[in-house]
Amino acid sequence: MPNETRTPSRQFGISRESLTPWLRRLAFYLVLLALWEGVARAGFWPEYLFPGPFTVLETLIRGLRKGTFVTATLVSLRRLAIGYGISLVLGLTLGLLIGRIKALNETLGSLVLGLQALPSVCWLPLAILWFGLSERAIIFVVVLGALFSIILGVEAGVKNTPPLYLKAAHTLGAHGIAIYTQVVLPAALPAILSGLKQGWSFAWRSLMAGELLYFTLSLGNLLQTGRDLNDAAQVMAVMVMIIIVGVSLDQSIFAPLERRVRERWGLG
């Protein structure tokens, strides 16, 4: 047999094609960090207003070592889990009902569509008036931030279920709840997953907005504290922490689900 010349990347099962996007992405972020450092060193603003990336990294590491950032992240994630969990239950239920019942679609569906256009920060004044500066006010804002996106995603998936599937299910004897669990939900899964992902992103943003007003240790409160102390390094470090947590949750939860759905539907 002829001798095969294998590159190191081939020996470890890594192709050049798979490395190229990562190298391009790495180069992009290195250039971005270099520009950031260059602007910081140019002296257009004082260092406490526009710190360089190394200063922000030092602040981030210090906050992690003290445990402040870790505790704040856990508090924020707990609030997110409660608020998003409530919006998930309500959103799935209302989305299924609106998608299947014409009267609800013509009434409640139009209201949901209008409320979706309302930025979640607009609910903050009402949350404070109704619940005061409390945990319930923050969770209320998180629920409303995610709820309408989930409802619309589920509704769209249900409405786009091919009628042929429903006729076949009725012919095979499926009725009532079985229609939803065995036909409607599986067929609507791609649209539902899209709505859940969008709802999660809105919930995360709403949480940060709500925590700016409630003075307990959390990521949003650390942002507010950094602003009060004119400490831009802390503000930027918390922003980096928020991005890390958001991307980590997306890649660990929604990305695998999307891959499985694409594979199930023959799209990936």
The 10s digit of each residue's pLDDT in 43-88 is 788 888 889 899 999 999 999 999 899 999 999 999 999 999 999 9
- Note whether residue 194 is domain-resident: yes
- Note whether residue 17 is domain-resident: no
Q: Does this model's pTM top 0.75?
A: yes
- Note whether residue 57 is domain-resident: yes
- Note whether residue 44 is domain-resident: no
CATH code assigned at 186: 1.10.3720.10
> What span, in angstroms and rounded, lies between the C-alpha atoms of 187 and 181?
10
Confidence tier at 1 by pLDDT (50, 70, 90): very low
**What is the b/e burial string over 45-55, where b = at least 16 CB atoms within 10 angstroms of the residue's CB?**
eeeeebbbbeb
- Note whether residue 244 is domain-resident: yes
Host domain of residue 231: 53-264
Burial of 77 (0-12, 13-18, 19+ CB in 10 A): middle
What 8-state DSSP symbol labels residue 184? I
- Indicate the residue type of 17: E
pLDDT at 15: 59
Average pLDDT score over the chain:
83
pLDDT at 238: 92
On the question of pLDDT at 265 being above 70, the answer is: no
Q: Tell me the longest C-alpha to C-alpha distance in the chain.
A: 80
CB 241 within 8 A of CB 73: yes
Q: How many residues does the chain have?
A: 268
- Note whether residue 26 is domain-resident: no
Number of domains in the chain: 1
Sequence-distant contacts of 58-61: CB under 8 A, at least 24 apart? 58/233, 59/233, 59/234, 59/236, 59/237, 60/237, 60/240, 60/241
